[in-house]
Amino acid sequence: MHTELIYDASLLEHNTFGIEAKARMLLTYDSESALCAALDDIHRQYKDIPMLHIGCGSNLLFLGDYPGVVLKSAIKGIQLLDESPDSVLVEVGAGEVCDDFIAHAIAVGWYGMENLSLIPGQVGAAAVQNIGAYGVEVCDVIHEVRGISLQDGSARRWKRDECGYGYRQSIFKTDLFGKYAITHVTFLLSKHFDPKLQYGGLVKAVGEAGLSEETLTAEELRQVIIGIRRAKLPDPKDQGNAGSFFKNPIVTKEKAEQLLTEFPTMPYYPADNERVKLAAGWLIEQAGWKGKSLGPAAVHDRQALVLVNKGGASGSDIQKLCEAVRKDVGERFGIELSPEVNMI
């Protein structure tokens, strides 16, 4: 059981945008009991102090210093809970890096998360954010989420259907935002590899890699997806960013048909029987923002969904660029883009 508490802590290394901000306290913990003990101490010393739980800071934009406690999980571990001829139940510590777990799962023959390869962040944050890519969302393979109340240290479990999952959404981002620390996530994974190639040009990418759909392995698909992501997205070590900054907007079929009349090359994907998902990156590019800067913040020149810190940008610099992009997309297409990144 171990905790580390740092006062007046720099958050520069704890957000992939590379924003210089400070927290009144930064608490790192490696077990549920360590977290509960630390929470008891904090509540005894400070009344109603705000708390913010982060993962790797890969979906976060600090708009200024944080006046309370920033918490970070170092809970590790991968435990096989149950196994059948077709599937496994695996509990993973929230502090595990999600991509590391995906690599491990493929290596031991557990499948279902290949399309989420190389998405940055920890397992706990993945469950909060409901990360997704190439037609797969992490909620597709989540069985249960465990957490600790930041107010009284009580433990709670949520089955998948209780988590309020939607597109980049969960109950942990709405009703329970800031109220719980996710400590463990249990995944239901298949022992049979069933590649999902219907989204984002994966069939073409597999072919261009000289691979066959019929003989494709999970590791081969993982490497194809890693290659696509590396080609499109800047490495935060080289240029601060949080990956996709905006959600792909979901509109009615009528709205999509109206837009297709004016923009026949507009990409779109069915969301459900009544709605259509549009490509936010395409909308931003058509609005003229791809590769453009606003002060030290810019829209990436290869992927318009990504906002980048060119060096020395503050959180408010990134926020101003976000609002300028939203304004122009709204005026041109009549669509309101929603940020995927949490602005604190």
- Nearest partner of 57 among 316, 315, 242, judged by Cα: 242
* Catalytic center residues: 168, 244, 340
Using DSSP's 3-state secondary structure scheme, residue 273 falls into coil
Q: State how far the Cα of 331 lies from the Cα of 136, in Å rounded to an integer.
A: 31
Closest to 5 measured CA to CA, from 32, 34, 44 = 34
- CB atoms under 10 Å from CB of 333, counted, come to 21
The answer to whether 300 and 10 are in contact (CB under 8 A) is no
Question: What is the DSSP pairing of strand 66-73 with strand 22-29?
Answer: parallel
Which of the 8 DSSP states describes residue 209? T
Token code pair at residue 325: 């992009």
Residue 218 identity: A
